[in-house]
Chains A and B, each alone.
Chain A
């Protein structure tokens, strides 16, 4: 097996793999940079507008909740296809990495919304009450109590989402995008070269491990345990 890799045409596959890796990182980072904020906002809305919340508002809660429940279950491969008219309207093209980023933003924003909400509901309502009793405004409470109190679990939640987004980005190939997924299918699977496919697998595994270690370290630092 070692011989297989020794005999591999590294002058060709090496740069190809690096390119694919960068494309994956690029897609994930750009999509995450956008969806993190959208998801955080939606998650905060879900948490604060629920009954008994700081900004309790049934209409807003049900609207956001309905949207999240509608978008989230759509399998990503179908979402890419279904969003294509919107993608073309918005970005002028329906193919390539940009189109995939667009679909990733949709899928991950609503996923993040749920994860943010789930982490916020575990905050002790007592600390929110304490801040209210001190005369803090609702916005101040959101930014100086709720988010800091949930920061550790949120880091872990976001790490989970980034890893899920690496998974999403692997489907870029179906609309002409690149990345590790495309590399594995086009260079490995379709050419009957499983050892090439495994290169992509190894790259993904290393990336996921590094991210999770980073996320755990960050959360541990914030949670002090």
Chain B
């Protein structure tokens, strides 16, 4: 894998990572097996931050390990940095891996090495000279803000510091791709922010392409450009973060995004709401919150009163979105007209109360 190859891939705008109909099945017994990744296709463009989100057990960990060949696909093809890696030998794979950094949930720092030793390890693997290594380690520790911890050992660091060392180590050999495997799941909310800002800087300042798998909406919201939602080994939704999060979805089931955003009333919420209102319940998307606001302001003109019964706003990397659930009261004709004008401002959905009715 030469540097020119990588440059070509970038110049051509071709994807850095491409999965085509990739399946990975694990045999768990004589006749039983689990399909962790099921017929998955997607691609990641150079410089992009691609998020993969899903419940635990959705196959995310396997998916990310297929990218650097820690797992091999059962079928399908995987192209990374212009090379078809699914059938490469272990020794050839090593060259591809040296162009890919990886950050882990449990940090996976070498306990037997200090911070500088951890960061220098991939450089040793890549054959850098001692002088080059020392310079690079210094540079990286400054990048992650741990220049004063070079001699510290992992157990002397906090969780956030450990992960920053993990990131410095992953970036050491100047990789083209950074894989983040639940990189903030073991951290508390404030350190999560710290680590996410660092990943964002790596993407923006170093131009590194990032694939991040997570079950935390926070990660996707703050760093991802595009997101894939995984469920039972399949990618069930994929698109720009803003579109996926802001569109009311109606799969007739509780989706991951919905449950993580908590932007729609649950059955329990609904029964509480129903105790004080009998109005028509609709959920309106706040993609264009100004227009929605204007329409809401005209409710009285329609002869409709509304009450906000549920909702919230969220911010993504470069936009905000949200859902509001309204209880509308008035003559059914007037309410219908009001809903129509809301629809002009953004997607509107009736709230299903089927589950609640059954109770």
Which chain A residues have a beta carbon within 8 Å of chain B's beta carbons?
Answer: 124, 126-127, 129-138, 140, 144-145, 148-149, 151, 222, 224
Contacts and interface: CB of A to CB of B under 8 A. Distances in A.
A127 B173 CA distance: 18
A15 B50 CA distance: 78
Contact of B108 (A130, A222, A224): A130
B310 interface: no
Given A126-B104, A224-B155, A133 B110 contact: no
Contacts of A126: 104, 106-108
Question: Lowest 9 A-B CB distances belong to which pairs?
Answer: A135-B98, A126-B108, A135-B97, A148-B112, A130-B108, A133-B102, A135-B94, A134-B122, A136-B125
Interface in B265-318: none
8 contacts: A126-B108, A127-B108, A127-B110, A129-B108, A132-B70, A133-B68, A135-B94, A145-B110
Interface of B: 68, 70, 90-91, 93-98, 100-102, 104, 106-113, 121-122, 124-126, 153, 155, 169, 173, 179
Given A124-B108, A126-B107, A135-B126, 5 more contacts: A126-B104, A130-B110, A132-B70, A148-B113, A149-B110
Nearest to A152: B112
Contacts, number: 68
Nearest to A136: B125
A151 B111 CA distance: 11
Given A129-B70, A140-B125, A224-B155, A134 B110 contact: no
Given A126-B108, A149-B110, A133 B121 contact: no
A129, A135, A149, A224 — most chain B CB neighbours (10 Å): A135
A134 B124 CA distance: 10
Chain A residues touching B, majority SS: helix
A76 to B, nearest CB: 34
Contacts of A145: 110
Contact of A132 (B97, B111, B112): B97
B112 A134 contact: no
B98 A134 contact: yes
B56 to A, nearest CB: 17
A134 B113 contact: no
B166 to A, nearest CB: 8
A135 B113 CA distance: 18
B98 A137 contact: no
Nearest to B125: A136
Contacts of A132: 70, 97
B119 to A, nearest CB: 11
A140 B125 CA distance: 8
B70 A148 contact: no
A163 to B, nearest CB: 25
A135 B125 contact: yes
Q: Give the one of A130, A132, A144, A222 with max B CB within 10 A.
A: A130
B111 A149 contact: yes
A135 B95 contact: yes
Nearest to B105: A126
B97 A133 contact: yes
Nearest to B118: A130
A154 to B, nearest CB: 11
B171 to A, nearest CB: 12
B121 A131 contact: yes
A48 to B, nearest CB: 14
Contact of A127 (B93, B98, B111): B111
Given A149-B111, A149-B112, A151-B112, A134 B106 contact: no
Contacts of A138: 90
B153 A224 contact: yes
A140 B100 CA distance: 18
Contacts of B155: 224
A58 to B, nearest CB: 15
A124 B70 CA distance: 16
Nearest to A124: B108
Nearest to B95: A135
B90 to A, nearest CB: 8
A129 B102 CA distance: 10
A149 B108 CA distance: 12
A131 B170 CA distance: 11
B126 A133 contact: no
A132 B110 CA distance: 13
Contacts of B126: 135
A134 B97 contact: yes
Contact of B102 (A124, A130, A151): A130
